Amino acid sequence: MSLAQRRILLGVSGGIAAYKSCELVRRLRDLDAQVRVVMTERATHFVSPTTFQALSGQSVRVSLWDEQAEAAMGHIELARWAERILIAPASADLLARLAHGLADDLLTTLCLASAAPLYLAPAMNQQMWAHPAVQANIETLRQRGAHLLGPAAGEQACGDIGSGRMLEPHELREALVASFGGGSLAGLSVLVSAGPTYEDIDPVRFIGNRSSGRMGFAIAQAAAQEGARVTLVAGPVSLATPVGIAQRIDVRSAAQMHAAVLDAATQADIYIGAAAVGDYRPQEIATHKLKKHDGAGLSLQLSENPDILASLSAKTVHPFLVGFAAETHDVASYAQDKLRRKGLDMIAANQVGGGLGFEAADNALTLYWGDGALELPRASKPELAQQLIAQVAARYRSGRS
């Protein structure tokens, strides 16, 4: 990842999340970006301009009427200088002023005077974020081409829980990196499936598995960071959509995942099946909750689900296919068998158990393709996902060898 010599104008408006933007400046500079910070007057009540000045190595601008600063670099010159404008945090007030085309301070004036793409990272109380006025402003800005980054859901500084948290600095940085394109998957569409499937038994029970979706979500994010247009088909998981994902489709059952993936695959160059798809489903779903009859056992008749990867590889035209194999033993031989049997271009094998695989934060993979193999030793799922994507891109570009 690099932002070498990229010119980023960071706008900071008034909100408690402004403290996170200090970290953001550091992270942008770690990638050699040039960063100039413009604050609204209200933002200075949360963080001092001196802090941003020290972190960015540049003087910080607040007012349109600062004669000294204007003489050094006029506001129109600053508007032209920027290759990207990122406003983080973007408060409800700032969004409203932008939506109405106001230019009543330096930051809003710069947004009107610049041709640079505008990225907005909203941060506010969840009730404010849900307010129809805020949503209408967001919609207006989106229709004008502004890119929305977040907000995320979770615990807020005010104690509320809900949507309205500013994305983390590393997520904002990754979105900026991706916005410049040029990654190893630039111009390609990547479809990723993630998480478990649930096969309903009755209105309250289902057959599921322990997949958390973390591996698949990390892969989707890594592909987006490499410039791909990513569609993520997610089983029932409690994970936020990673930054930069073009489309997320939520499904529950294997049949729904099968239909969603086959539909989206017509537009995809690469499909990565990281989902733990249920192999079987109850032949019938009871319409009422099944009752316990003391002493009597319960048998369920199961039918096999269609195999998503095999259905895709059976098509004359299909994406580059990457499967996963999760095994408790004989991992290599089962994985290589699946590679051949399902007609895949590559398979990522993981041994499950021992703190790896399902649910865990870490994993370890062995990749197999044609007559090649590569071990990716134990690492966090985001790190492994980046290594996997590098290999997928290399194999795809070298013509499905």
Q: Return the structure tokens found at 328.
A: 């408790």
Q: Return the structure tokens found at 263.
A: 């539909």
Residue 276 touching ligand PMT (CB under 6 A): yes
Q: How far is the CB of 356 from ligand PMT (least distance, A)?
A: 8
Query: Rg (Cα) of the chain, in Å, rounded?
Result: 24
Binding ligand PMT (rule: CB under 6 A), the pick from 9, 10, 243, 277 is 277
Q: Which stretch binds ligand PMT (CB under 6 A): 14-22, 263-271, 274-282, 372-380?
A: 274-282
Residues 180 and 168 sit within 8 Å (Cβ to Cβ): no
Q: How far apart are CA 347 and CA 325, in angstroms?
A: 7
Residue 212 touching ligand PMT (CB under 6 A): yes
Window 26 to 55, contacts with ligand PMT (CB under 6 A): none
Q: Which stretch binds ligand PMT (CB under 6 A): 29-37, 130-138, 178-186, 210-218?
A: 210-218
Q: How far is the CB of 47 from ligand PMT (least distance, A)?
A: 36
**Closest among 47, 51, 106 to 78, alpha carbons compared:** 106
Residue 56 touching ligand PMT (CB under 6 A): no
Half-sphere exposure of 342 toward its Cβ, with a 13 Å CA cutoff?
25
Q: At CA 17, angle to CA 11 and CA 20, rounded to 5?
A: 80
Residue 346 touching ligand PMT (CB under 6 A): no
Residue 350 touching ligand PMT (CB under 6 A): yes
Closest to ligand PMT by CB, 15 or 382: 382
Q: Which stretch binds ligand PMT (CB under 6 A): 63-71, 134-142, 245-253, 355-363?
A: 355-363
96, 161, 365 from 332: Cα distances, Å = 57, 45, 10
Q: How far is the CB of 374 from ligand PMT (least distance, A)?
A: 16
Binding ligand PMT (rule: CB under 6 A), the pick from 34, 40, 211, 313 is 211
Beta strands, E only, 113-158: 118-122, 147-148, 152-155
**Closest among 382, 59, 4 to 215, alpha carbons compared:** 382
Active-site hit among 136, 158, 290, 394: 158
Quick note: the x/- pattern for ligand PMT over 283-312, rule CB under 6 A, is ----------------------x-xxx---
To which H or E segment does residue 52 belong? Answer: helix 49-56
Q: How far is the CB of 363 from ligand PMT (least distance, A)?
A: 6
22 is catalytic: no
Binding ligand PMT (rule: CB under 6 A), the pick from 273, 319, 339, 367 is 273
Q: How far is the CB of 9 from ligand PMT (least distance, A)?
A: 37
Pairing of strands 247-250, 229-234: parallel
Residue 325 touching ligand PMT (CB under 6 A): yes
Closest to ligand PMT by CB, 163 or 311: 311
Residue 376 touching ligand PMT (CB under 6 A): no
Q: How many residues at the interface with ligand PMT, by CB under 6 A?
A: 29
Q: How far is the CB of 113 from ligand PMT (least distance, A)?
A: 46
The string over 256-284, giving b where at least 16 C-beta atoms fall within 10 Å of a residue's C-beta and e elsewhere, is bbbbbbbebbeebbbbbbbbbbbeebbee
Window 157 to 196, contacts with ligand PMT (CB under 6 A): 195
Binding ligand PMT (rule: CB under 6 A), the pick from 122, 169, 319, 323 is 323
List helix spans (H) across 186-299.
214-225, 254-264
Q: Check the CA dihedral 67-69-71-73 and report its sign.
A: negative
Residue 345 gets the label, from left (phi > 0), alpha (psi -120 to 50) or beta, of alpha
Per-residue HEC secondary structure of 265-282 comes to: HHHCCEEEECCECCCEEE
Q: Which residues contact ligand PMT (rule: CB under 6 A)?
A: 195, 211-216, 254, 273-277, 279, 305, 307-309, 323-326, 338, 350, 352, 357-359, 381
Q: Could you list the active site residues?
A: 158
